[in-house]
Amino acid sequence: MYLLVALFFLMISTDVAVRWTFLSDLTPSQVAVYVGSIALELLVLIVLIASITREKYLVRKTGLKAWLLALGLVYSFGLFSSWSFFTYFKTLPGVFAFSYLFSEPEDFLSIMGSGVQWYKVAAILGAGFLWAGLAYFVVKMRVTAKAGRKLSSWAKPRKYAAGLLLASLVLILQNNTRISPGVATPLTDGIFAFKTAVVRQIQGQQGWVRLQRRLVGDLPEQLQRDAPFNVLVIVNESLRRRNLGFYGYAASEKSTTPRLGTVLTDSRYKAVFFERAVSNATMTSVSIPSVLTGISPAQGFDALHRSYLIFEQAKRLGKLRTALISSHSYATGNFRAFLASEAIDFLWCRETDNLPAYNNVGADDRHVPDQFEKFMRTVDENEKFFAVLHTNGTHYPYTVPIEYRSGAPEHSIGAYDDAIRYLDANLGRVFDELTRRDLLESTLIVFTSDHGESFGEDGTTGHFGAFSMFNANIPLVIAVPTLVEKNIGPQKLSTLMQNSQALVSNADLFPTVLDLYAIPYKTEAYPGMSLLAEVPEDRPVILYNLVDTGVKKSYLGVFRRNLGLVVTKDETTSTMSALLHDFDSDPGASKNLWSNENESNRQSWREIVRRYPLIASYAEALTPPQ
């Protein structure tokens, strides 16, 4: 038994060696998950071997050798698969990997085969056979020498304690491997991920699960030219258009955006203020990955995790430094694993400096300009930069320093305005840094949000209710400096300005940035479109909050022209209802126009929904009963 335990820890040591670059970056709570998974596997091993040797009938079976060797081979295959998978993708095979294996086995195995280093495979497989062989001989020696006497002497309380410990570890680790996929040992993580994937497959569930590391392999092919100008993308949290001073908001005594307004309306810029921009979802964990990859939530979890980040596409250009700076918690939602990429030169979030939570689960937005200044010190004079700033301060509960408080009641729209003013001041420091480096006039600025916020105007508060022009309406500004105009061209710039009244989405940012940089991409892979091209008047925009089964309601939105169609699905009863409203004249969606739609119009809505297999079932709510 001692030899077998020693071999087990040899396997654990090998796992630590193979995954050291990942494991060395774990948080204390994640280390606890890893240690707990070791304890679980060791306990299962001891109980399994002891149970086998105790059962005289099983011991006498001539198939014992074959049974143990098969068990050892399964274990070695699990290790082989997990480690070789990690060698290529830098993560263990999680729920997505198994789901992808079930749905596209040939493609999955092809991807795996292209990343395998066979000398490592041979070494790992050899270690697996050694495990299988030693496991057999250890069991054989124990059966012959002790015939199960040690286990039979156990007192019942000790057996019950072992069972209770085993059950507790299973329950705890099952939840934690869902929250922190890839953190446990390969066997534990793989078993729980496989179980979840099987359940999803049986239930036909293709929707959202927790973010994981993407499976993209090599970066896109490098282009033989350098980045022509700087791009600064500012993605804010829960920021709706109607409360911004530069959009005409005048409900308070002083502007909410004095610094932003000054920069975006500067004569050195041609700024396009989109009046009818909406988000692709109203959950940050859905919207932000979509913004950074160009993949719509309606395309699903699997498509998202096979897609390149905008940084990886931008890095195809030479002499370009990239940054993602966020006051969010990127441990929450497993963003750090999802965003792992060598194409991001400078990545900072709350966990980078272990900062305390300030607003919701994020950090104080004042750290964003501090980190932007640090990043700019890494950009050489002959380099350009592409940076995404992801702020958090306008998220509920709208916490701001005392000097920015107007005296408005907590959690009110007045407190929300205070948070916007604090955001404006912090972004003002970003513009000051660009001005100090004489870069403001050569930096294209994109300003937007992940989603909006409701304050009861549509019957909901926050941003988790049915889609409306309060929780889904966002600002979108693209400010092109005069010095950059020649790189874009007069025709594209004119089209960009003409699109200011079109219905657009933050899913359009990915293709727009690629078009600004003249980086080729497969337009059919992305539901968004470049805003440098004419936006069709009848173009539909899809909004979808992908959910886990624990969420009781999910929402699908299709916005087209001036109409918003929202389908609500009760995840408990699977019942659905449709609401159609004119979001220009009725932004609060108080009147349901669906009953007034003729069958031809209803059919056109159904056809839009059925374009995506993931959301096709929502068309049932749009079909009259037979």
SS (H, E, C) 390-448: ECCCCCCCCCCCHHHCCCCCCCCHHHHHHHHHHHHHHHHHHHHHHHHCCCHHHEEEEEE
Mean pLDDT of 36-44: 81
Specify the higher pLDDT residue, 452 or 11: 452
Mean pLDDT of 392-421: 89
Per-residue b or e along 200-238, where b marks 16 or more CB atoms closer than 10 Å to that residue's CB = beeeebbbbbbbbbbbbeebbeeeeeebbbbbbbbbbbb
Whole-number pLDDT of residue 79? 74
pLDDT digits (tens, 9 = 90+) for 328-387: 988 877 888 899 999 999 999 999 998 988 877 889 999 999 999 999 999 999 999 999
Specify which residues 564 forms β-bridges with: 559, 581
Residue 64 Cα distances to 69, 125, 280, 303, 550, angstroms: 8, 22, 57, 44, 43
User: How do 276-278 and 503-505 pair as beta strands?
Assistant: parallel
Whole-number pLDDT of residue 547? 57
**Averaged pLDDT of the chain:** 81
Q: What are phi and psi of 274, to 5 degrees?
A: -75, 125
Q: Can you read off the two tokens belonging to residue 56? A: 């005289």
3-state secondary structure of 549: coil
Whole-number pLDDT of residue 523? 84
- Least Cα distance to 623 among 554, 577, 581 occurs for 577
Whole-number pLDDT of residue 608? 93
CB 464 within 8 A of CB 500: no
As a whole number of angstroms, the distance between CA 568 and CA 247 comes to 31
Q: Can you read off the two tokens belonging to residue 74? A: 């399964």
CB 532 within 8 A of CB 496: yes
As a whole number of angstroms, the distance between CA 590 and CA 6 comes to 68
Outline which parts of the chain fall under CATH 3.40.720.10. Answer: 230-537
Whole-number pLDDT of residue 110? 47
Q: What's at 596, amino acid-wise?
A: N
Dihedral over Cα of 429, 432, 434, 436: its sign? negative
CATH of domain 230-537: 3.40.720.10
Q: Which residue has the tokens 């912090």?
A: 426
Residue 592 Cα distances to 449, 480, 588, 589, 620, angstroms: 28, 40, 11, 7, 18
Specify the higher pLDDT residue, 269 or 46: 269
Dihedral over Cα of 573, 472, 341, 218: its sign? positive
**How many residues in total does the chain contain?**
626
pTM for the full model? 0.76
Q: What are phi and psi of 119, to 5 degrees?
A: -70, -30
Per-residue b or e along 301-323, where b marks 16 or more CB atoms closer than 10 Å to that residue's CB = bbbbbbbbbbbbbbbbbeebbbb
Mean pLDDT of 298-322: 93
Residue 626 Cα distances to 518, 576, 623, angstroms: 51, 16, 9
CA angle 416, 354, 451 (to 5 degrees): 30
CB 519 within 8 A of CB 223: yes
Q: Which residue has the tokens 């395998």?
A: 116
Q: What are phi and psi of 612, to 5 degrees?
A: -115, 120
Mean pLDDT of 539-554: 71
